[in-house]
């Protein structure tokens, strides 16, 4: 009986495929931000990345999957795990909120182009809306984990449970809060961070139930 054939994996080929994918993602991000998600075709992206359209689809899938991959990359690079670990080490509300507000601000500022991209595309593209919902889910989950810690150490007002604390963190530090101040009102990120951090602290220690 002949020995089973082993599949051969070429490290060089895999490195090449990974680089091709990165080139595609970079080209897509630049085009989406410059022209708008709805206006960019897969052909545009393929030409900008210097690859065949067939290679583009094989590497990243559909246009929606490509957008999802871009945002998933941002989520993975958002330092959320490290940020939450810092919050978990906090022993009082003020230091935890300050740490959380600064970390969220850092991510929001770094990924502002991607956030702007989603805002501009989700109203006209149902699939882009799905990507937005994914990002929001990840974001809210991180804030909920922070809320769980704050409730567990008794740092928030006694009447607040995890849901109440998480909702207040989302109201004060969620994507809309930063966008309202920075984009709509023209505030600096420094000023927005100071106000939103103070607002979150006040709401979490407010003794009066909503």
37 and 78, same structural domain?
no
Do 53 and 148 lie in one domain? The reply is: no
Q: What CATH number does residue 200 fall under? A: 1.10.357
Asked if 68 and 134 touch (Cβ cutoff 8 Å), the reply is yes
In a domain, 67, yes or no: no
Residue 183 falls within a domain, yes or no? yes
Give 202's contacts (C-beta < 8 A, 6+ positions apart): none
pLDDT score of 36 more than 60:
yes
Tokens of 194: 């100071």
Residues 82 and 121 in one domain: yes
What burial class does residue 112 get, using C-beta atoms within 10 Å of its C-beta: 0-12 exposed, 13-18 middle, 19+ buried?
middle
Residue 19 belongs to a domain: yes
pLDDT, one tens digit per residue, over 78-135 is 666 677 888 999 889 999 999 999 999 998 998 888 888 888 778 777 877 887 888 8
Local structure of residue 184 (DSSP, 8 states): I
pLDDT for position 67: 85
* Same domain? 154 vs 182: yes
Residue 18 sits in the same domain as residue 84: no
The answer on 157 and 185 residing in a single domain is yes
| 203: confidence class by pLDDT, cuts 50, 70, 90 | very high
Whether 137 and 108 share a structural domain: yes
Domain co-membership, 153 together with 192: yes
* The pLDDT of residue 56 is above 50: yes
**In terms of domains, do 51 and 106 share one?**
no
Residues 50 and 96 grouped into a single domain:
no
68 within domain boundaries: no
Structure-model confidence comparison of residues 156 and 67, the more confident one: 156
- Nearest CA among 93, 104, 98, 96 for reference residue 160: 93
List all residues 6 or more positions away from 84 whose beta carbon is below 8 Å from its beta carbon: 142, 145, 146
CA 55, 58, 61, 67 dihedral sign is: negative
Which pTM value belongs to this model?
0.76
- Do 148 and 188 lie in one domain? The reply is yes
Residue 66: inside a domain: no
In a domain, 114, yes or no: yes
Distances (CA, A) of 154 to 91, 201, 208: 10, 14, 16
**Domain carrying residue 150:** 74-205
Q: Domain tally for the chain?
A: 2
Q: Is residue 147 part of a domain?
A: yes
Decide: 204 and 160 in contact? Cβ < 8 Å.
yes
Q: Is 162 part of any domain?
A: yes
Burial of 37 (0-12, 13-18, 19+ CB in 10 A): buried
Helix residue ranges per DSSP H, the chain: 11-35, 42-49, 53-60, 63-76, 80-89, 93-110, 112-122, 126-152, 162-173, 175-179, 189-205
Same domain, 27 and 93: no
């Amino acid at each position: 009986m002949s020995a089973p054939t082993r599949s051969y994996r070429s490290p060089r080929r895999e490195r090449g495929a990974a680089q091709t994918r990165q080139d595609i993602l970079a080209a897509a991000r630049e085009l989406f931000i410059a022209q708008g998600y709805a206006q960019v075709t897969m052909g545009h992206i393929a030409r900008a990345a210097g690859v065949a359209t067939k290679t583009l689809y094989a590497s990243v899938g559909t246009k929606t999957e490509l957008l999802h991959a871009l945002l998933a990359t941002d989520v993975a690079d958002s330092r959320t795990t490290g940020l939450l670990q810092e919050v978990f080490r906090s022993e009082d509300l003020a230091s935890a909120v300050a740490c959380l507000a600064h970390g969220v601000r850092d991510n929001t500022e770094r990924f502002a182009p991607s956030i702007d991209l989603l805002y501009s595309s989700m109203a006209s593209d149902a699939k882009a809306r799905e990507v937005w919902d994914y990002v929001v889910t990840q974001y809210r989950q991180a804030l909920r984990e922070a809320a769980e810690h704050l409730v567990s150490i008794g740092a928030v007002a006694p009447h607040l449970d995890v849901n109440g604390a998480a909702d207040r963190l989302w109201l004060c530090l969620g994507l809309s809060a930063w966008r309202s101040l920075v984009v709509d009102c023209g505030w600096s990120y420094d000023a927005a961070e100071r106000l939103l951090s103070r607002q979150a602290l006040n709401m979490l220690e407010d003794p009066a139930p909503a």
